[in-house]
Structure 1
Amino acid sequence: MNIVGKSVNRVDAYGKVTGEAKYTADLEPKDCLCAKVVHSTIANGLVKSFDLEEALKVPGVVKIVTCFDVPDYQFPTAGHPWSVEKAHQDIADRKLLNQRVRLYGDDIAAIIGENEVACQQAARLIKVEYEEYEPLVTVRQAMEEGATPLHPDLRKDNVIVHSHLTMGPKDFTFEDGLKAAEDVYGKDQLTVIERDYHTPRISHCHIELPVSWAYVEPNGKITVTSSTQIPHIVRRVISQALGVPAGRIRVIKPYIGGGFGNKQDVLYEPLNAYLTTVVGGRPVRLEISREETIYGTRTRHAIDGSCKAVVTKDGKMLARKLEAYANNGGYASHGHAICANCGNVFKDIYADRLGAEIDCYTVWTSTATAGAMRGYGIPQAAFFSEALTDDICHAIGADPLRFRMENCMPEGFVDPANGITFHSYGLKKCMEKGADYIGWDERRRAYANQTGPVRRGIGMAIFCYKTGVYPISLETASARMILNQDGSIQVQLGATEIGQGADTVFSQMAAQTTGISFEHVYIVSTQDTDTAPFDTGAYASRQTYVSGMAVKKCGEALKARILDYASFMLDGRPVDELDVDHDFVIEKETGKELIDMPTLAVTAFYSLERSEHITAEVTNQCRDNSFASGCCFVDVEVDMPLGKVTVKEIVNVHDSGMLMNPKLAEAQVHGGMSMGLGYGLSEEFIYSDKGKPLNDNLLDYKIPTAMDTPDLNVKFIQLDDPTGPYGNKSLGEPPTIPVAPALRNAVLHATGVAMDTIPMTPQRLIGAFQEKGLI
């Protein structure tokens, strides 16, 4: 039975379209108390005292807790697998409420009330005395000598981590490469490029706000229902934050309205778990506003990249250097992992003949905390590498497509730092397919030597992306399957459906592996840490690769038990002569139907001779990884006096192994491309020089609408990857990576102006065009 690879309908489609699917807020009990977080009104300093007298008089206020009341535990929030080695654990740098203020809007107190109005009124009446310090809004300010350390208990300065990476000789430096290039090729045959690039802080903008509600069960167990990507990790972090054994914590994840990495952090669940305990275990609901979500949860890192490259004038990439400075905001969250990932992929994507040198700095500042966001540092890496590549081509007169073909990472590439391997290689085929679709050669010629205020340009960018987090950290997932009395099967995972279609693909995998028809596979789309098998959650484009292998192994184990029982029913017929296909036990050689699954299942449950409840549970510890890759081609029209970029045509081409469900894959790419358009053209979360957010709302923070989005075209190169459960590898995050640099490079082609900062807003474009004398 072949169901994997087909565009079957989503298993959750009906419930979501009709409104029957239940999200966190839909499930809260009627007698829920409300909670509201009180945020700091300074960006850097210390809470000295509170005056709560007037706030406590507000009718409906039940309890107010402050940073002086909460348990004295510092805890980490990143959705990472926990390390048993202390040196590799996430940075524990925050408490449930913080006395030390590290950003405007820091969490300093919380109000519990009978209704939201009471909480809001009380919040306005709380008086706070601060000791205020100078805000450190930029990385440069935070790294200056004498800057106030934001976490003096952890570091004497604000640099969380500095890492040095090389490709080629272990002690390679760019200066070494430059000298060697001059010795081999001669100085007159070389071009050296130096550029500074800037990528913005942006918000995830998922539709469903972070929301949870918590209560204490009669047995003392603290139960939290939450919109999260990582229920099992939330359980562990709540345990750490409250100093309570993990067995006393229960986390339930219903349907979720998007996350994109923001909900790969543990946000307000620990605080909510604590708040229910101070009101006798009554249910407490904590939902934050859109403004609080933008400034108070997580953002994508703003990373500045200083780049150098030396190339031959005939187009050979010899050596590159990147110094990357990541603005991590007030708290560590995922720490250095994202900037290090940025630097690592920058060095991987091109085969520098002499070597590459990378320095990465992750820095605390007095701004919104940065964490995981779709792409995990690679959108920034791609902007640096792909803008640099087109700037090189512009300088030496090379064709950007052919330059990339000549210099991109080769087939069979193995990252020497971690062993991640290009097991199936489609990067060049992706470029060929994209170039053919967009008409690269014809349009490059047609758009040459333009004049006038409105011009056309064509640009491209490439990327690579690993699948999951091994070997950097643990990859593990479990699956459970149960044969029901009617011959259908129940599938239960700790992996989370967050809108991407994972449950549909897992159901296809289960059907294909067991031989039970897709219509008779029932997957549990919500997770409860008391009953769901363990899985670290939805991130790193890992689930169809890591959790998918758990599904495959579990399906094989369940099928083996079914066939063993069939052998009993068939008077001991050898198992190796049997198979399961389309809900029948069949004779493997002839395909003859022997027993239908309902008959086998009901017999197994109720046989007086041999009653057996047929189940399987399997853990998959993944010890492999594989690169996905691809490219984006875009054709733009640039109206220079208006500073307006109109996308006339765009296509993404992906090598993500074999597609589990082509329509779902296409939808994933559409969503990622849309996010990439916003990243390149309009989205940026900005601060005043005093550390106050200036556009923390969806009126002033500009995400693309349907009217801003062109037709999104998607192509795939399908190659069987030997490490994936069904030849598949990552697809969830890659679509957003190459779009912004492709847009930037198209503007360069149209106008000759190299935009070094995104988003390319009208103000920035007009300023750059004026500087070049074009308008």
Structure 2
Amino acid sequence: MAYTVVGKSVTRVDAVAKVTGKAKYTDDFSERDMLVGKILHSPYAHAIVKSIDVSKAKALPGVEAVLTYKDLPEIRYATAMPGVIEAIATDEVDVAELKYGTAGHPFSLDESHRDKEDRYILTQKARFVGDNIAAVVATDALIASKALKLIEVEYEVLEALTSTDAALKEGAPLIHDDCERNILASGGYAIGNLEEALKESDHVIEGEYETSIVQHCHMENQVSHAYVDSDRRIVIMTSTQIPHIVRRIVAQSLGISWGRVRVIKPYVGGGFGNKQDVCIEPLNVAMSLAVGGRPVKLELSREEAMIDTRTRHAFKFKIKTGINNDGKINGIHITAVSNTGAYASHGHSIASSGGGKFRYLYPTKALKYDPITVYTNLPVAGAMRGYGTPQIFFAFESHIEDIAKKLKMDPIEIRKKNLVEVGHVDLLSKNKIMSCSIRECIDKGRELIKWDAKKALYKEQTGDKRRGLGMACFSYASGTYPVALELAGARIVMNQDGSVQLQLGATEIGQGSDTVFAQMVAEVLGIPMYMVHVISTQDTDITPFDTGSYASRQTYVSGMAVEKAALEVKEKVLAFANRMTDIPAHLLDIKDQFVVFKDSGEQVIALEVVAMQSYYDRVNAQPITSDVSNNARINAIPYGVTFAEVEVDIKTGKIKILEIFNVHDSGKIVNPLLAEGQVHGGVSMAIGYALSEQLLFDEKTGKPLNNNLLDYKLPTIMDTPVIGAAFVEKEDPTGPFGVKSLGEPPIVSPAPAIRNAVFDATDVAFNRIPMNPQRVFEKFKETGLI
């Protein structure tokens, strides 16, 4: 279908504001006489607070409050603001006993489907280095920092369990008393008869693979401020992906009704999943309540943010695959151990999600997935771009490469033999594959990187520098259905000149969703982009309900609500034009700011005239608006592939990426330039994941060794090659304008593609990432290459 605005690389609606510095982030806002909060973090990975003395800190001039776990039962009564006791303390709840979950998932009416509640605002038992023991509220940051040093804590230090192996060991201390063997959760799925499928196979091939803990490193650290307003309600301004969920979790953490909390989200300086978690807001609110509802700002330093927010789950995989001589896979058995750190956060849903999205790529007769998620005394793992999928695809796409090598088969052909077909229905989710261009993606990537010519060129290599090619495929999803609710809202108000305001619950966090939504509205209403005014700030008192920015759901799920709202406005415009002209509405359309005849395009009446009439007609006045919600009970599966060419320096272990192409089947691309930007960002993150990034900890104590941007090795511009982005556009019938997701998919397949290219170049298989020079060098020595 031919579109006017959709499919065009229009300028981002927030571009000028961000480039000129006019965009206001959380830290740019202030309240009168705002106080500053600071946190005392545990220096021990596993310890009980035996005693805590805050008298010296309280005595320091400028300190307004000092909080420990002991103060929380009284926190609602500690404020002197009139009426707050009646407003806040409506239930007889002992706040000290209030545990809550922090994961940014929609609330479930089914208790068994809710996130694990294992967190306290402040804790008596530290479970990782960085856990929150106490907090100070002061008139400025310097005084607050001084006060932290005056707090005297006596700890009973316990054994630190810094690996899943240690946590699972018989007799290991329990990190949480209600979790036997420190297992947060287990349970996957089984399809078909695995034992029979393996018996029928000509080969049964096994492999073990491991990924590491990494951090999001978004530019803007977690920051918020909170206060009690004149209506005796709690107001929080925060940098978050999930304002409506923050509202609910803060209320749960304090045992108050949800309607007493208001959350405002301004511009966000990146999140990548880290801000799909409620990390600091409950404590920030507790700080405000401790000083009578006065405004308190809480901002984490980079060092704090790298250990006291969230990380990516590290995984260990064991894979057993039954395959025939012709390359057809009969059965797969995957066991996975996920390290969730000290608290559940998103917990087992990460392992479950990765195993779920994996099913859409290589359907087999039998597939068994056995994941467990384990508590350790390390920083909390949560959502991070890809949500478990980069881990499982690193493992399996490396594994299938190993199989191809053992069977002396072409790595592309072995994948093609097993790829999904359109019409396939997943046996567990019941999601049906309505569009799939993975084969075309492979063909395009193969051509772009000149696979065949380079394979021949690099066949017989010697010397210290060797080159190789690798590829890896992926499947993903467009949202979370049927696992979780996919509700999104949109509101459109037409102004007197025919322009519109678009208000969304969906959160723009840098990915460009506000722009593509504006394009959708402009397309439906036949107006130029500049006439669509997107309200980017979300406010839970005002904006429509939307669960937030995660799961690559916005363009697909929230886009359904936007399209629905725009179509309703269009219908109302044409109905009003019908009353004005007596021309039947079904004969009319809107194009270039005019109501026109649908068939001929002949102009009937200016849109502005209709809009003005809707406001001021003395008989028929009714401003044209729409306010809709859409509950998406469907999912579209995006596909894609990464092709990589590398040069490996045998003597130093240095891996250089020469070329990399990330090719996507994401349905209709609404904005090609923005889509390319998403690919560049995702691939860049994946390169760090593959080659350099890893949070390191002392194995005995759990102390972080590199929680700063000097020692944590993010790729710089010097480490980043020219990234090739390509798309195979085939519209999916389920999505608005035929879209499928694109936000997270770019990060999924580059790491295994790079690993497979290194394998091709050196004949050495790296089954653990990152493949940094030291690890590569040591492996080369171990295998005799050096």
The answer to whether 1:104 aligns with 2:142 is: no
Q: Name the CA distance, whole Å, in 1 between partners of 2:740 and 2:120.
A: 37
Q: What whole-Å deviation, never above 9, does each CA across 1:506-533 have from its counterpart, x for those lacking one?
A: 0000111122322101010110000000
Q: Secondary structure at the match of 2:123?
A: coil
Q: Name the CA distance, whole Å, in 2 between partners of 1:438 and 1:733.
A: 23
Q: What whole-Å deviation, never above 9, does each CA across 1:341-376 have from its counterpart, x for those lacking one?
A: 222334443233x42221100111100111100000
Q: Name the CA distance, whole Å, in 2 between partners of 1:101 and 1:557.
A: 53
The answer to whether 1:484 aligns with 2:495 is: yes
Q: Secondary structure at the match of 1:285?
A: strand
The Cα shift of 1:485 comes to 2.0
Alpha carbons 2:397, 2:473 under 8 Å: kept? yes
| Aligned residue in 1 for 2:179 | 155
Structure 1: which amino acid aligns with 2:747?
A: T
| Aligned residue in 2 for 1:687 | 697
Aligned length: 760
**Partner of residue 156 from structure 2, selected from 124, 131, 156:** 131
Q: Secondary structure at the match of 2:681?
A: helix
Alpha carbons 2:635, 2:734 under 8 Å: kept? yes
> Greater CA deviation, 233-242 or 402-411?
402-411
The answer to whether 1:313 aligns with 2:325 is: yes
**Partner of residue 331 from structure 1, selected from 343, 346, 366:** 343
Map 1:584-663; keep pairs closer than 5 Å: 584-663=594-673
Q: Name the CA distance, whole Å, in 2 between partners of 1:465 and 1:331.
A: 26
| Aligned residue in 2 for 1:410 | 421
The Cα shift of 1:490 comes to 0.5
Map 1:310-389; keep pairs closer than 5 Å: 310-352=322-364, 354-389=365-400
Q: Name the CA distance, whole Å, in 2 between partners of 1:165 and 1:116.
A: 50
Q: Name the CA distance, whole Å, in 1 between partners of 2:58 and 2:231.
A: 31
**Partner of residue 180 from structure 1, selected from 197, 200, 211:** 200
The Cα shift of 1:596 comes to 1.7
The answer to whether 1:283 aligns with 2:295 is: yes
Q: Name the CA distance, whole Å, in 2 between partners of 1:600 and 1:409.
A: 50
Alpha carbons 1:515, 1:583 under 8 Å: kept? yes
Q: Name the CA distance, whole Å, in 2 between partners of 1:614 and 1:751.
A: 65
Map 1:14-93; keep pairs closer than 5 Å: 14-70=16-72, 71-72=95-96, 73-93=98-118
Q: What whole-Å deviation, never above 9, does each CA across 1:238-270 have from its counterpart, x for those lacking one?
A: 111111211111000000000000000111111
Q: Name the CA distance, whole Å, in 2 between partners of 1:316 and 1:239.
A: 53
Q: What whole-Å deviation, never above 9, does each CA across 1:177-235 have from its counterpart, x for those lacking one?
A: 32233xxxxxxxx3332211110110000000000011111110111000000001101
| Aligned residue in 2 for 1:186 | none
| TM norm structure 2 | 0.95
Q: Name the CA distance, whole Å, in 2 between partners of 1:479 and 1:200.
A: 39
Alpha carbons 1:489, 1:516 under 8 Å: kept? no
Q: What whole-Å deviation, never above 9, does each CA across 1:293-320 have from its counterpart, x for those lacking one?
A: 1111100000010111222334222222
The Cα shift of 1:271 comes to 1.2
Q: Name the CA distance, whole Å, in 2 between partners of 1:639 and 1:688.
A: 30
Map 1:392-541; keep pairs closer than 5 Å: 392-541=403-552
**Partner of residue 757 from structure 2, selected from 737, 746, 752:** 746
The Cα shift of 1:598 comes to 2.3
Q: What whole-Å deviation, never above 9, does each CA across 1:404-430 have from its counterpart, x for those lacking one?
A: 111222333221111122211101110
The Cα shift of 1:562 comes to 1.5
| Aligned residue in 2 for 1:710 | 721
Structure 1: which amino acid aligns with 2:36?
A: C
Structure 2: which amino acid aligns with 1:294?
A: M
Alpha carbons 1:191, 1:396 under 8 Å: kept? no
Alpha carbons 2:234, 2:285 under 8 Å: kept? yes
Structure 1: which amino acid aligns with 2:565?
A: C
Q: Name the CA distance, whole Å, in 1 between partners of 2:320 and 2:359.
A: 12
Q: Name the CA distance, whole Å, in 1 between partners of 2:705 and 2:488.
A: 42
Q: Name the CA distance, whole Å, in 2 between partners of 1:678 and 1:422.
A: 32
Q: What whole-Å deviation, never above 9, does each CA across 1:448-495 have from its counterpart, x for those lacking one?
A: 121111100100000000110000111110110001122211100000
The Cα shift of 1:281 comes to 1.6
Structure 2 unmatched ranges of 5 or more: 73-94
Alpha carbons 1:324, 1:343 under 8 Å: kept? no
Q: Name the CA distance, whole Å, in 2 between partners of 1:265 and 1:231.
A: 10
| Aligned residue in 2 for 1:560 | 571
Structure 1: which amino acid aligns with 2:239?
A: S
Structure 1's 51 and 532: CA in aligned 2 closer, same or farther, altered over 3 A?
A: same
The Cα shift of 1:30 comes to 4.8
Q: What whole-Å deviation, never above 9, does each CA across 1:113-144 have from its counterpart, x for those lacking one?
A: 10000111111121111222111111111111
Alpha carbons 2:487, 2:629 under 8 Å: kept? yes
> Greater CA deviation, 97-106 or 51-60?
51-60
| Aligned residue in 2 for 1:185 | none
Q: Name the CA distance, whole Å, in 2 between partners of 1:192 and 1:722.
A: 39
Alpha carbons 1:639, 1:645 under 8 Å: kept? yes
Q: What whole-Å deviation, never above 9, does each CA across 1:566-598 have from its counterpart, x for those lacking one?
A: 22222x332222222221122323322222222
| Aligned residue in 2 for 1:768 | 779
| Aligned residue in 2 for 1:187 | none
| Aligned residue in 2 for 1:268 | 280
Alpha carbons 2:188, 2:352 under 8 Å: kept? no
Q: Secondary structure at the match of 1:68?
A: helix
The answer to whether 1:241 aligns with 2:253 is: yes
CA RMSD of aligned residues (A): 1.3
Structure 1: which amino acid aligns with 2:696?
A: I
> Greater CA deviation, 572-581 or 96-105?
572-581
Q: Secondary structure at the match of 1:407?
A: coil
| TM norm structure 1 | 0.96
The answer to whether 1:253 aligns with 2:253 is: no
The Cα shift of 1:674 comes to 0.1
Structure 2: which amino acid aligns with 1:350?
A: Y
Q: Name the CA distance, whole Å, in 1 between partners of 2:580 and 2:504.
A: 30
Structure 2: which amino acid aligns with 1:609?
A: V
| Aligned residue in 2 for 1:184 | none
Q: Name the CA distance, whole Å, in 1 between partners of 2:439 and 2:425.
A: 17
Alpha carbons 1:477, 1:495 under 8 Å: kept? yes
Q: Name the CA distance, whole Å, in 2 between partners of 1:730 and 1:559.
A: 26
> Greater CA deviation, 516-525 or 307-316?
307-316
Percent identity of paired positions between Structure 1 and Structure 2? 48
